[in-house]
């Protein structure tokens, strides 16, 4: 048997974390303000995470563990922040960001990377005087690209199911199959409608040779979310393993067309290459996306910054000018224009 953290354990704060919150929301000067200050809490959390906090995609930890260990991924940091906001008497809500799919390699597996953030807002109570009454978005991986994608509010139960699913995936990668099953089971009980849990459960079944159960899990995942491309891909590979080569190839071909026809897919690939300083490769990916959509400012900006990194100032200025031209709002236009102005001084 494996101990699976309860909801209370996942979101509980130890005494050190509670003291941190109390200090963060304490008024700096005596005033009429008697409501907790969301702005101060968020600033303090970011200060804390910037002082020795290291990011690890596999660091799936409870709120208290994240605060103490200072190693976390975006879900763990979001859970910690949610717990702190609740303890402070503030409102908090989780959101998932609908970004194109992309993967990281872990232990020989392709692991799908998702993204989660949250919003913190004051709880308005009768008689309380509130200075900062605007909700604050909190994102621990704030890339400009994410601002262009829609996000959807999710329940606390969904976030908890995501935590259990991540823990199960960790166990799966460590070949601890009984432990993986315990976490996937808890995720399914917590939020039966979370498609990714069933996809991962299917992988667990397949690895252990239970192909019929794996297929049922994949198909159930797709019944919950027919756009779960990871479930489709796993189903395709299972078909190829079970003498249904043509069916599997047809699914994979459809997935490939879907991805290659999505300019944001190429944009994500470009961003990843740029982060690795593989600028020529980044330009290739951005150009592939540009062929599909000539007016996407994020792609044009990607080309501009990549050409600049390559030392081609003329092309960099050209694409920055296009990014400013097709910017969705004045703020973005000004941002691209300011970078363009700096480049033009070098021409």
How many helices (DSSP H) and strands (DSSP E) are in the chain?
Answer: 16, 8
**What is the C-alpha separation between 283 and 280, in angstroms, rounded?**
5
Q: What is the pLDDT of residue 114?
A: 65
Range(s) within the chain of domains with CATH label 3.10.620? 7-154
Q: Encoding tokens for residue 279?
A: 């600028």
Question: What is the CATH code of the structural domain delimited by 7-154?
Answer: 3.10.620
Question: Where exactly does CATH 1.25.40.10 map onto the chain?
Answer: 171-260, 263-344
Residue 283 corresponds to which tokens in the numbers above?
Answer: 């330009």
Provide the residue-wise pLDDT of the chain in tens; the chain has 347 residues.
678 999 999 999 999 999 999 988 876 555 545 556 778 888 888 777 766 667 666 788 999 999 998 777 889 999 999 999 999 999 999 999 876 654 444 444 444 556 788 999 886 554 444 444 578 888 876 555 555 667 899 999 999 999 999 999 999 989 999 999 999 999 999 999 999 999 999 999 999 999 999 999 999 999 999 988 889 989 999 999 999 999 999 998 998 888 888 888 888 889 889 988 999 999 999 999 999 999 989 899 999 999 999 999 999 999 999 999 998 777 778 888 888 888 777 76
Phi and psi at 335, nearest 5°, equal -65, -45
CA geometry: angle 257, 259, 260, nearest 5 deg: 65
Give pLDDT, residue 53: 67
Which superfamily is assigned to 171-260 in CATH?
Tetratricopeptide repeat domain (1.25.40.10)
List beta partners, residue 103: 112
How far apart (Å, rounded) are the C-alpha atoms in residues 37 and 132?
Answer: 7
User: What is the reported pLDDT for 107?
Assistant: 44
φ, ψ at 72 (rounded to 5°): -165, 165
Residue 168's Cα: distance from chain center in Å? 18
Q: What is the pTM of this model?
A: 0.76
From 3.30.360.10, 1.25.40.10, 3.40.720.10, 1.10.3720.10, which CATH number describes the 263-344 domain? 1.25.40.10
First to last CA, the chain: 67
Distance of alpha carbon 83 from the chain centroid: 19
CB 7 within 8 A of CB 183: no
- Looking at residue 309, its pLDDT comes to 94
Residue with tokens 């509010």: 153
Long-range contacts of 216-223 (CB under 8 A, 24+ apart): 221/195, 221/196, 221/197, 222/195
* Residue 345 neighbours by CB under 8 Å, 6+ apart: none
Are the beta carbons of 94 and 120 closer than 8 angstroms? no
């Amino acid at each position: 048997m494996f101990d699976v953290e309860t909801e209370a354990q996942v979101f509980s704060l130890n005494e050190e974390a509670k003291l941190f919150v109390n200090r963060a929301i304490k008024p700096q000067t005596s005033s009429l303000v008697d409501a907790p200050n969301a702005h101060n809490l968020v600033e303090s959390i970011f200060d804390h995470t910037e002082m020795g906090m290291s990011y690890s995609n596999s660091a799936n930890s409870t709120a208290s563990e994240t605060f103490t260990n200072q190693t976390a991924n975006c879900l763990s940091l979001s859970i910690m922040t949610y717990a702190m906001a609740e303890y402070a008497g503030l409102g908090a809500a989780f959101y998932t960001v609908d970004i194109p799919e992309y993967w990281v390699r872990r232990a020989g597996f392709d692991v799908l990377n998702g993204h989660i953030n949250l919003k913190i807002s004051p709880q308005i109570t009768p008689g309380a005087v509130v200075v900062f009454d605007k909700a604050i978005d909190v994102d621990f991986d704030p890339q400009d690209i994410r601002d262009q994608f829609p996000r959807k509010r999710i329940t606390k139960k969904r976030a908890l199911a995501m935590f259990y699913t991540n823990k199960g995936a960790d166990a799966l990668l460590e070949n601890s199959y009984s432990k993986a099953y315990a976490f996937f089971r808890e995720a399914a009980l917590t939020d039966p409608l979370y498609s990714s849990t069933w996809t991962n459960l299917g992988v667990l079944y397949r690895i252990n040779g239970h192909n019929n159960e794996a297929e049922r899990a994949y198909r159930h995942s797709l019944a919950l979310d027919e756009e779960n491309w990871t479930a489709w891909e796993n189903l395709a590979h299972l078909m190829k393993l079970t003498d249904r080569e043509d069916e599997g190839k047809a699914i994979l071909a459809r997935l490939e067309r879907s991805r290659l026809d999505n300019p944001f897919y190429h944009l994500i690939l470009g961003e990843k290459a740029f982060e690795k300083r593989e600028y020529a490769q980044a330009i290739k990916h951005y150009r592939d996306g540009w062929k599909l959509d000539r007016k996407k400012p994020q792609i044009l900006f990607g080309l501009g910054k990549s050409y600049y990194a390559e030392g081609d100032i003329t092309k960099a200025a050209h694409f920055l000018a296009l990014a400013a031209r097709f910017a969705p709002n004045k703020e973005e236009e000004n941002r691209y224009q300011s970078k363009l102005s700096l480049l033009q001084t070098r021409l």
